[in-house]
């Protein structure tokens, strides 16, 4: 009887643990695996043989080294931040080796904390002006798939597909490589001296500023962390007849070793946390639950078998035989 009670208890506890494992996987893990509200990240990239337009002299500067600095900061105190939405700001500055600021831009986006996509909110802005941010920005979703994703570009204010190109390893970390081709896009019109627009006979003309870029993004697939990137931006002035004039910026930038290593560490940490919550913990609880169910079933079956076993009868009693005469 005691064995049967213990077996039934273990069966019940095992069933509870199996249910708990399912609940962790279906309900608890999605609630815990979210983008942080207080995200902080920074990185540095460099480029050589950079060409840019010095706006103080209106002359092109060729063959210089330049540095890109990126800073991402979450605003947990924002009115738009919540259990479902994270507010992240990103700023990028390109600086020539002599300290000249070549370009600078910043934007703020509201991100769905589960799938990393941009959502509408009052905090959205580009260079402190209200804007509409769409698609993915500085991170990919948890559980990245081998497919194309729409990624937003701050310079054009548009999204362009980042194509999945294959798997690689960076410092032992498995990553997915995506390539985003941004075609020549008119980003604004401006009044410039004719010689900057390729029409030196004109004193000034209304010209297009045209931007293009090829971006390569390496993403850790479990966490969606953007480990590192490389870019080849080209921004030029085009005259009214389509003639290409001065180059505002042409460069190839790649993250430095320290930034890449920091990205690898950040991705590994986030991957391990996601794996623990969404896979390791549910499997451990389910394994323990299954073990208890099996032990409980064994004890219960043994107890039932013992209870139904028929008693074995002994030989019939015999009267003593008397040899008295």
Say what the pTM is: 0.81
Specify whether the CB–CB gap between 194 and 202 falls below 8 A.
yes
pLDDT at 3 over 70: no
Residue 323 above 70 pLDDT? Answer: no
Q: Are residues 194 and 298 in the same domain?
A: no
Please check the confidence at residue 312 and state whether its pLDDT lies above 70. no
Give the residues across from 162 on adjacent strands: 149, 180
pLDDT at residue number 45: 97
**DSSP tag of 146:** S
pLDDT value of position 29: 47
Residue 133 lies in a domain: yes
- Same domain (yes/no): 113, 73: yes
Q: How many domains does the chain have?
A: 2
Give me the percent of the chain exceeding a pLDDT of 70.
Answer: 75
Contact 71, 95 (CB under 8 A): no
Cβ-in-10-Å burial (0-12, 13-18, 19+) of 255 comes to buried
What's the domain range around 149? 33-255
Shared domain for 43 and 19, answered yes or no, is no
Q: Is 131 found in the same domain as 15?
A: no
CB contact at 8 A, 112 and 82 = no
Could you please report the per-residue DSSP string of 69-127?
EEEEEE-TTSTT--SSEEEEEEEEEEEETTS-EEEEEEEEEEEETTT--EE--TT-EET
| Residues contacting 127, CB < 8 A, separation 6+ | 105, 106, 107
Residue 235 domain-assigned (yes or no): yes
Give the Cα separation of 261 and 267 in Å (integer): 10
Selected residue with higher pLDDT from 51 and 277: 51
When comparing pLDDT for 169 and 319, which is higher?
169
pLDDT at 117 over 50: yes
pLDDT of residue 272: 85
pLDDT tens digits, one per residue of 180-204: 999 999 999 999 999 999 998 899 9
Q: Which segment of 21-30, 118-127, 294-303, 316-325 scores lowest on mean pLDDT?
A: 316-325
- Neighbouring CB atoms inside 10 A of 304's CB total 13
pLDDT at 43 over 80: yes
Query: Do 136 and 16 belong together in one domain?
Result: no
**Residue 227 and residue 190 share a domain:** yes
Residue 70 forms part of a structural domain = yes
DSSP-assigned letter for residue 317 = P
Question: Is the CB of residue 269 less than 8 Å from the CB of residue 255?
Answer: no
pLDDT given for residue 105 in this prediction: 95
Residue 307 pLDDT grade (very low, low, confident, very high; cuts 50, 70, 90): low
Which H or E element spans position 270?
helix 257-275
Residues 238 and 125 in one domain: yes
User: What pLDDT does 11 receive?
Assistant: 52
Least confident among 86-90, 241-245, 317-321: 317-321
Residues 233-285 have pLDDT tens digits of 999 999 998 899 999 999 999 999 999 999 999 999 998 887 766 665 556 65
Residue 106: inside a domain: yes
Q: How far apart are CA 67 and CA 61, in angstroms?
A: 15
């Amino acid at each position: 009887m005691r064995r049967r009670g213990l077996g039934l208890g273990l069966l019940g506890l095992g069933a509870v643990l199996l249910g708990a494992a399912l609940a962790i996987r279906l309900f608890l893990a999605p609630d815990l695996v979210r983008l942080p509200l207080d995200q902080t990240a920074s990185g540095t990239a460099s480029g050589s043989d950079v060409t840019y337009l010095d706006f103080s002299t209106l002359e092109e500067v060729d063959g210089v080294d330049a540095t890109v600095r990126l800073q991402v900061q979450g605003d947990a105190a924002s009115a738009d931040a919540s259990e479902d939405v994270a507010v992240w700001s990103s700023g990028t500055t390109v600086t020539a080796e002599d300290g000249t600021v070549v370009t600078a831009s910043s934007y703020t986006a509201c991100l769905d904390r589960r799938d990393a996509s941009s959502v509408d909110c009052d905090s959205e802005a580009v260079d402190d002006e209200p804007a509409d941010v769409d698609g993915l920005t500085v991170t990919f979703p948890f559980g990245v798939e081998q497919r194309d994703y729409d990624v937003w570009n701050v310079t054009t204010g548009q999204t362009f597909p980042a194509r999945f190109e294959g798997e690689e390893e960076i410092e032992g970390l498995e990553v997915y490589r995506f390539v985003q081709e941004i075609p020549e896009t008119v980003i604004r019109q401006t009044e410039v001296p004719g010689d900057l627009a390729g029409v030196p006979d004109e004193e000034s003309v209304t010209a297009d500023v045209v931007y293009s870029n090829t971006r390569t993004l390496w993403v850790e697939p479990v966490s969606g962390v953007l480990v590192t990137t490389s870019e080849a931006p080209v921004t030029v002035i085009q005259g009214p007849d389509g003639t290409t004039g001065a180059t505002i910026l042409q460069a190839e930038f790649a993250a430095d070793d320290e930034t890449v290593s920091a990205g690898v560490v950040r991705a590994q940490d986030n991957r391990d946390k996601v794996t623990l919550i969404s896979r390791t913990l549910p499997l451990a609880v389910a394994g323990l639950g299954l073990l208890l169910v099996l032990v409980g079933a064994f004890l219960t079956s043994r107890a039932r078998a013992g209870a139904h076993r028929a008693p074995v009868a002994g030989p019939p009693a015999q009267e003593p035989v008397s040899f008295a005469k």
